[in-house]
Amino acid sequence: MDASRELLRLIGGYQVSQAISVAARLGISDALATGPQTLAELAESTGADEQALARLLHALTALGLYTADDGSFANTELGAALRVDVPRSVAGWARFIGTGSYWQTYAALEQCVRSGETAFSIVHGEPVWEYRAKHPDEQEAFDAAMTSMADAVSDAVVTAYDFSRYESVVDVGGGHGRLLSGILERYPTIHGVLFDQPDVVAGADTERFQVVGGDFFESVPAGDALVLKSVIHDWADAESIEILRNCRRALPTDGRVLLVEQLLDRSPDPVRTALSDVNMLIMTGGRERTTDEYRRLLAAAGLTLVDTVATAGTTHVIEAAATH
Ligand SMILES: C[S@@+](CC[C@H](N)C(=O)[O-])C[C@H]1O[C@@H](n2cnc3c(N)ncnc32)[C@H](O)[C@@H]1O
């Protein structure tokens, strides 16, 4: 192996991220959904400068997202996954990561690692949730990004975990309720409740479930199963225990708290999970955790870890019951 060459390839990751993010924001894959287009047609349909777009397309074609035959560009399988209208689309996430406060925060990784402070607060002067509450455009882009990521995870979770024993499910910090919708699709008799910050639930499609706006540091709506997907990893231990204590209070006897998270010690994609841990370090001050770390966290909130169920993706369902 040529170590320098391999390292240079890894170092260039930032260029790849930004190129794909711009492709998503321009909507290149969407423009190609109905068939190949020439450079001039693509420049017209995406509103881009033709010469600059040609160079971006050259790089994206080399990366495998598009093909270029006889002056026409077309989606490959990879490029098609960037369309907004396909199942398990990653367009929302690709659009989100390359812009605004998220992209800027990565520039402060060094300061974060040197000081231990959360990079987002170093750069933007306040925690991420407070910042987004004041920047509705970023809040909306983030919610869309989470919804886009939740598609794949939702399918994996409802396939791997049996919700049939529950009459009611609360999606705590559920964003726009993508996971909850997936659960209700498969289990139509379950009563679903979406719980998130008032500004966030305002954007949810409320036909299928009840919506409650609030603050999980104050209280959580009651339900047989309280699902928290990608929520606890956002928080340091002290805040996580507070959220989980409020879940414990809202739990009936025989109820369950279900965390949907990646496990550092059992991830099928250790690189992705470790990088997700770095992402939590700089964005939210949270962390990815091992099974034992979750067990201890749950115990501190009066909950006992009773099972972990692997899904087809990188997440596990961590099932907990009230400690008696
Ligand atoms: C990483 S997102 C996960 C969203 C969703 N569960 C998913 O996986 O797509 C974390 C969620 O926690 C919500 N959240 C943050 N602080 C909250 C609070 N104090 N009370 C209720 N929800 C909160 C955010 O609005 C956001 O939707």
- Eight-class DSSP state of 167: S
User: Can you tell me the distance from the alpha carbon of 78 to that of 66, in angstroms, rounded to the nearest whole number?
Assistant: 8
Q: Report the nearest-CA residue for atom 14 of ligand 1.
A: 173
- Answer whether residue 3 shows pLDDT above 80: yes
User: Ligand 1 centroid to 10 CA: how many Å?
Assistant: 31
- Eight-class DSSP state of 64: T
Sign, CA torsion 156/214/194/168: positive
Percent of the chain at pLDDT exceeding 90: 90
CA-wise closest residue to 305 among 317, 289, 321: 321
Structure confidence at residue 103 (pLDDT): 97
132 lines ligand 1 (CB under 6 A): no
Question: Catalytic residue positions?
Answer: 233
133 lines ligand 1 (CB under 6 A): no
DSSP codes, 289-300: B-HHHHHHHHHH
**What average pLDDT score do residues 45-55 get?**
97
For residue range 78-132, what is the model confidence (pLDDT) as tens digits? 999 999 999 888 999 999 999 999 999 999 999 999 999 999 999 999 999 999 9
CA-wise closest residue to 182 among 11, 311, 36, 25: 311
For residue range 7-47, what is the model confidence (pLDDT) as tens digits? 999 999 999 999 999 999 999 999 999 999 999 999 999 99
151 lines ligand 1 (CB under 6 A): no
What would the two tokens of residue 6 be?
A: 């391999």
> What kind of fold does domain 148-322 have according to CATH?
Rossmann fold (3.40.50)
Q: Report the nearest-CA residue for atom 13 of ligand 1.
A: 173
User: Can you tell me the distance from the alpha carbon of 79 to that of 32, in angstroms, rounded to the nearest whole number?
Assistant: 9
Structure confidence at residue 147 (pLDDT): 82
- Residue 180's pLDDT band (cuts 50, 70, 90): very high
229 lines ligand 1 (CB under 6 A): yes
Q: Report the nearest-CA residue for atom 12 of ligand 1.
A: 173
187 lines ligand 1 (CB under 6 A): no
User: Ligand 1 centroid to 5 CA: how many Å?
Assistant: 40
User: Ligand 1 centroid to 79 CA: how many Å?
Assistant: 29
User: Can you tell me the distance from the alpha carbon of 289 to that of 63, in angstroms, rounded to the nearest whole number?
Assistant: 33
Q: Where do the structural domains in the chain lie, given as residue ranges?
A: 3-84, 148-322
User: Ligand 1 centroid to 17 CA: how many Å?
Assistant: 24
CA angle 171, 286, 200 (to 5 degrees): 40
Structure confidence at residue 38 (pLDDT): 97
For residue range 309-321, what is the model confidence (pLDDT) as tens digits? 999 989 999 999 9
Q: Report the nearest-CA residue for atom 19 of ligand 1.
A: 215
User: Can you tell me the distance from the alpha carbon of 166 to that of 209, in angstroms, rounded to the nearest whole number?
Assistant: 15
- Answer whether residue 297 shows pLDDT above 80: yes
224 lines ligand 1 (CB under 6 A): no
For residue range 242-281, what is the model confidence (pLDDT) as tens digits? 999 999 999 999 999 999 999 999 999 999 999 999 999 9
Structure confidence at residue 87 (pLDDT): 87
Query: Could you tell me which CATH class the domain 3-84 is placed in?
Result: mainly alpha
Q: Point out the ligand 1 atom lying closest to the alpha carbon of residue 217.
A: 19
pTM of the model: 0.92
8 Å CB contact between 100 and 139? no
